[in-house]
Amino acid sequence: MFTSNIISNYAICYSMYFVMIWIIYANKSHQLFDQKGLPAKNHSNLLALQIAGILWLGLVPLIWAKPILTILFGNGKTDTVFTLTFITVLLGLIFTGIHQAKGAAIVSQKITLPYRSYYPRYFILRIPFLISYEIFFRGLWLFLNIDKFGLVVAIIIDMLLNFILHVFSGKKMQWACIPFSLVACLLNYQAQAVWPSIILHLAISISFELTSVNRFIRRLKAVS
Residue 141 predicted with pLDDT over 80: yes
Give the whole-number percent of the chain exceeding pLDDT 70.
Answer: 92
- The residue that leads in pLDDT, 213 or 202, is 202
1 pLDDT exceeds 50? no
pLDDT at 159: 97
Distance, CA of 89 to CA of 146 (rounded, Å)? 23
Percent of the chain's residues with pLDDT above 90: 60
pLDDT at site 118: 85
What pLDDT, on a 0 to 100 scale, did the predictor assign at position 39? Answer: 80
User: Which region holds residue 37: left if phi is over 0, alpha if psi is between -120 and 50, else beta?
Assistant: left
Does the pTM exceed 0.85? Answer: yes
The answer to whether residue 89 scores a pLDDT higher than 70 is yes
CA angle 85, 157, 80 (to 5 degrees): 15
pLDDT in tens, 19-71: 999 999 998 888 888 777 778 888 899 999 999 999 999 999 888 776 776 77
For residues 51 and 139, give the distance between their C-alpha atoms in angstroms, rounded to a whole number. 19
Query: What does the pLDDT read at residue 223?
Result: 65
Q: Which residue has the higher pLDDT, 62 or 159?
A: 159
DSSP assignment letter at 28: T
> Rounded distance, CA 23 to CA 43, Å?
14
CA distance 163 to 174: 6
When pLDDT is cut at 50, 70 and 90, the band that residue 175 belongs to is very high
**Average pLDDT, integer, range 171-197:** 94
